[in-house]
Amino acid sequence: MSLVSEYLADVKRLLDALNAAQIEGLIERLAECWRADRRVLLVGNGGSASTASHIVNDLQKCIFLETGRALKAMCLADCMPLVLAWANDEGYENVYAPQVECWGEAGDLLVAISGSGNSPNVLRAVEAARDRGVFSFGLSGYAGGRLAQIADECIVVPSDSMQRIEDVHLIILHLAFVGLLERLKR
């Protein structure tokens, strides 16, 4: 089997193993945030930060274009001067928690993405969310890491390939966007 065939087969296997009810739950949480005019905060590192930043485009702009009202979605990795200031003054593990404390309110949603499930800054964001009554929905890989233990809900992509984990995380979030859009059009 070629590398390409093997990679595609493994991603298909990981997609087939996803729990549709968990994705439906994420869609419903997003819909609740839109209906109640609540915020959706997203965090991640590296490729996961890129995924978080990317999906804000769909959740904010595309929802606005289809419904006339945006979902209040923001990626907490997108303001690099702020991230660097927190990292410099309080350590990299604290770049997100203070932002969750600033923006998060009871009823909001935090989408926490960590391929390993053990990123300290993502875990601290989840802890800050819990303290503020913000529901945390994790996306993890490997065996789930600590994120799977502390998030209110977590989808774990059971793979030890970061690239495949990140592929599946983006598909989950695109599916959540499409599902949200379908619900809002009804």
What CATH number is given to the structural domain containing 141?
A: 3.40.50.10490
Q: Which domain holds residue 9?
A: 3-185
* Cβ 50 vs Cβ 169: under 8 Å: no
Question: 78-81 contacts: CB < 8 A, separation 24 or more?
Answer: 78/53
Q: pTM for the full model?
A: 0.96
Amino acid identity, residue 131? D
Structurally, the chain folds into a number of domains equal to 1
pLDDT in tens, 35-87: 999 999 999 999 999 999 999 999 999 999 999 999 999 999 999 999 999 99
CB count in 10 Å sphere of residue 4: 8
pLDDT in tens, 125-165: 999 999 999 999 999 999 999 999 999 999 999 999 999 99
Angle between the 3-16 and 162-185 helix axes, to the nearest 10 degrees? 50
